[in-house]
Amino acid sequence: MDYYVAVLSIMGVHILLGLSVYLVAITGQLSFGQQGFYAIGAYVAGVCTALWGTHLVPALLLGMTAAGLIGFLVGFPTLRVKGLYLGIATFGFGEIVRLAFLNIKYTKMVGGKLVGPNGAEGFRHVSYIYDRGFTQVQYLAVIYAAVIVVAGLVHLLERSKLGAKFRAVEEDEMAAAMAGINVTAVKVMAFTSGGFVAGLGGALFVHYSTYVDHDMVALPLAVASVTYPMLGGLGSFWGPILGAAFLIFLTEGLRFLQEFRLVIYGALIILTMIFRPRGIIDEAVMMRIRSLVRRKGAPSPAA
Amino acid sequence: MAETLLDIIQQSINGLMYGAFYALIGIGFTLFFGVMKKFNLAYGPTIMAGIYLGLIPLYRWKAPMWVVFVTCVAGAVVVGFIVELACFRYLRKGHELAPLMTTVGMLILIQETVVIVTHAAPYEYPNIFGDESLEVGPFLIRPDYLAILISGLVFVVLLYLLVQRTAFGRAMRAIAENPAVAQLLGVSVSRMNRLTFALTSALGGATGYLVAMTFGALQPGIASWMTIKGLVVIVIGGLGSIPGAICAGLLLGVVEFQALWFLGVGYRDILAYLLLFAFLVLRPSGLMGRPAT
């Protein structure tokens, strides 16, 4: 039981990562740097509860906001480049964050333990939820509350005029600009919101695992978070959710596959790109679902 | 003061020699980009797989080092073909980011396969140049670094002749200039793609062999390390420009060695990424590239 609670907790955090990549991806930008925002969220929120003794909620908000602000600041220079260059630039950003945390030392003695980001040692003893007597199941509820709120907001965004602008920028930047859409603003907005969501994921993660280090936010996490929307599909926010749920369940749920986790990710990415370059739930699938629903005269799906 | 100056010069010498390796990786990426107009992020793993395959004759039959070298090159070419087949040949047109994703997938796939097969244990790679440094005046020169620089020069001259003086090179330049017109004039683009894969993989295998020797020990992590360095070099040098890749590789080598000496190992890679970021933002076309379209 505990084991499945653990798998579901990790799944929730990774759904947030997948959604953060998705938010950027629906403007046609591929980011390999969301793990950088995730790391910022994790470290900032961890410092709040473990070193400053704040409550969990402001810590999560602060971690998320810090990541979002950095996303905003990085967004401007980074979005001057696109496509392949953007992939490299965002990955470079993620690596700069990772290497910064490899060097940052900010520790205090709290309750007889050395707590805080400690360079290569990582950041240990973020034990807020366990000190306050939360059970794993209760914290799982916290994680999924966050997932539902974020997924709901992404859903609203997609149905809004702003969402249509996001898609227009993806489809054809030039045409979008001609139609009066401020392309830079849209892209920076996507990048910022992606930063917020990834930061929230990191903040939730560090309190669950009590520990984070620079190795956890390296290339494999970048690849995993990009895989979720790519495999699940770019047609709807269900894509990254489905992708993350499927891949985490496949590799965590079936223990013997654990060793081959990354090999499976790699192979699945290649196969998906060859057979379904827009993922499983792509625009065509969404269109079919919508027309099916409409033909039956039912109201539009809650999803 | 004089000692600091000597240190700077010493580290610049090391950086230039080591940078020759970065330049070679960058040339591989750039040749590839010139012909295919795509990045091959699986280039690092291709090289890594080649030099790991080179270990087989060494450990199993105690083969002489030239056999190891040939196996490295041949192994990299074979893996290069697999990469081409899996990541490029069957992709549909019109999805610009698809090859980026497939080669990232391949990067992870190859790297993790090697991790599983070798249990991530480092393998010793014998250094045929020994570890006695040559003394030149007040400076020390590592013979294996010098070997990288010299072989780098040889490779560059050979490549220059190949690209400028042969029918293959002419076809390559034609495709880099305009693939559609090149095809109209009778150049088989798909054949050139495969030949380019073979050429860059062979170059990578030869480079990787030298690098493995200077490292002394082989770990799967060098796959993504080489891909990242290659990307940094071509962004700084400018896409598709061989002279750009050479300059950028040497520059990166010098910057890294100065950072290593004066700031410490924790800041070496940060500085390299900041350099990358600065170029992306301020000069996206790189040192010698054409303006990005």
pLDDT per residue as tens digits for the range A16-26 = 999 999 999 99
Cα A55 to its chain centre, rounded Å, is 23
Contact status, residue B109 vs residue A267, Cβ threshold 8 Å: yes
ipTM: 0.81
A-chain CB neighbours of B266 within 8 Å are 99, 102-103, 119
pLDDT at B291 over 60: no
User: What's the CA dihedral at B135, B125, B273, A204 to 10 degrees?
Assistant: -140
Task: Assess B267–A contact: CB distance below 8 Å, yes or no.
Answer: yes
When pLDDT is cut at 50, 70 and 90, the band that residue A141 belongs to is very high
For B91-124, letters b (16+ CB in 10 Å) and e give: beeeeebbbbbbbbbbbbbbbbbbbeeeeeeeee
- Predicted confidence at residue A133, as pLDDT, reads 81
> Higher confidence at residue A149 or residue A220?
A149
Question: How do strand B139-141 and strand A113-117 relate by DSSP bridges?
Answer: unpaired
Contact status, residue A244 vs residue A18, Cβ threshold 8 Å: yes
Cβ distance of A92 and B116 shorter than 8 Å: no
Nearest by CB to residue B98, choosing from A99, A268, A277, is A277
DSSP per position, chain B? -HHHHHHHHHHHHHHHHHHHHHHHHHHHHHHHHHHHSS--TTHHHHHHHHHHHHHHHHHHH---HHHHHHHHHHHHHHHHHHHHIIIIITPPTT-TTHHHHHHHHHHHHHHHHHHHHHTT--EE---TT-SPPEEETTEEE-HHHHHHHHHHHHHHHHHHHHHHHSHHHHHHHHHHH-HHHHHHTT--HHHHHHHHHHHHHHHHHHHHHHHHHHHSEE-TTHHHHHHHHHHHHHHHH-TT-HHHHHHHHHHHHHHHHHHHHHT-HHHHHHHHHHHHHHHHHH-TTTTTPPPP-
- Predicted confidence at residue A300, as pLDDT, reads 52
Which residue of chain A has the CA closest to B286?
A: A85
DSSP per position, B127-189? -TT-SPPEEETTEEE-HHHHHHHHHHHHHHHHHHHHHHHSHHHHHHHHHHH-HHHHHHTT--H
Environment class of A54 (CB within 10 Å of its CB; exposed 0-12, middle 13-18, buried 19+): middle
When pLDDT is cut at 50, 70 and 90, the band that residue A298 belongs to is low
% chain B with pLDDT above 70: 98
When pLDDT is cut at 50, 70 and 90, the band that residue A303 belongs to is very low
Structure tokens at B207: 């480079």
Q: How many Cβ atoms from other residues are within 10 Å of residue A294's Cβ?
A: 11
* Over residues B196-205, mean pLDDT: 91
Radius of gyration of chain B from its Cα atoms, rounded to whole angstroms: 19
Task: Assess B274–A contact: CB distance below 8 Å, yes or no.
Answer: yes
Cβ distance of B97 and A87 shorter than 8 Å: yes
B154-164: pLDDT as tens digits: 998 998 898 88
- Give the domain range for residue A106: 2-295
Residues across chain A: 303
Q: Helix, strand or coil for residue A120?
A: helix
pLDDT at B74 over 90: yes
Q: Helix, strand or coil for residue A202?
A: helix
Nearest by CB to residue A262, choosing from B92, B101, B108, is B108
Give the angle subtended at the CA of B262 by the CAs of B259 and B264, to the nearest 5°: 70
- Predicted confidence at residue A297, as pLDDT, reads 58
- Predicted confidence at residue A28, as pLDDT, reads 85
Task: Assess A85–B contact: CB distance below 8 Å, yes or no.
Answer: yes
Q: What domains sit in chain B, N to C, each tagged with a CATH number?
A: 2-120+139-282 (1.10.3470)
Task: Assess B271–A contact: CB distance below 8 Å, yes or no.
Answer: no
Which residue do the tokens 């679902």 mark? A289
pLDDT at B293 over 60: no
Which residue do the tokens 């790297």 mark? B111
A88-115: pLDDT as tens digits: 889 889 999 998 888 888 888 777 777 8
pTM exceeding 0.80? yes
When pLDDT is cut at 50, 70 and 90, the band that residue B119 belongs to is confident
Contacts of residue B227, Cβ cutoff 8 Å, sequence gap at least 6: B41, B42, B43, B44, B45, B107
Contact status, residue A199 vs residue A75, Cβ threshold 8 Å: no
In a domain, A300, yes or no: no
In a domain, A35, yes or no: yes
Domain count for chain A: 1
Cβ distance of A273 and B106 shorter than 8 Å: no
Most confident range, picked from A32-36, A80-84, A168-172, B11-15: A32-36
DSSP state of A48: I
A-chain CB neighbours of B267 within 8 Å are 103
In one-letter notation, the amino acid at residue B65 is M
Q: Which of B277, B285, B290, B293 is the best substitution to test chain A (most A C-beta atoms within 10 A)? A: B277
In a domain, A302, yes or no: no
Q: How many Cβ atoms from other residues are within 10 Å of residue B158's Cβ?
A: 11
In a domain, A303, yes or no: no
pLDDT at A197 over 90: yes
Number of Cα atoms under 13 Å in the Cβ half of residue B168: 14
| Angle at which helices A34-46 and A219-232 cross, to 10° | 120
Contacts of residue A210, Cβ cutoff 8 Å, sequence gap at least 6: A124, A125, A126, A127, A130
B239-266: pLDDT as tens digits: 888 888 999 999 999 988 888 888 877 7
pLDDT at B128 over 80: no
* Over residues A228-232, mean pLDDT: 89
d(CA B268, nearest CA chain A) in Å: 10
Contacts of residue B290, Cβ cutoff 8 Å, sequence gap at least 6: B238, B239, B240
Helix (H) or strand (E) holding A246: helix A238-248
Cα B91 to its chain centre, rounded Å, is 25
Of A169-178, B219-228, B263-272, the poorest mean pLDDT is in B263-272
Structure tokens at B280: 């992306």
Give the CATH number for residue A6. 1.10.3470
* Over residues B41-61, mean pLDDT: 89
Task: Assess A100–B contact: CB distance below 8 Å, yes or no.
Answer: yes
When pLDDT is cut at 50, 70 and 90, the band that residue A65 belongs to is very high
pLDDT at A257 over 60: yes
Of A284-298, B187-201, B225-239, the poorest mean pLDDT is in A284-298
pLDDT at A294 over 90: no
Most confident range, picked from A214-223, B73-82, B86-95, B267-276: B73-82
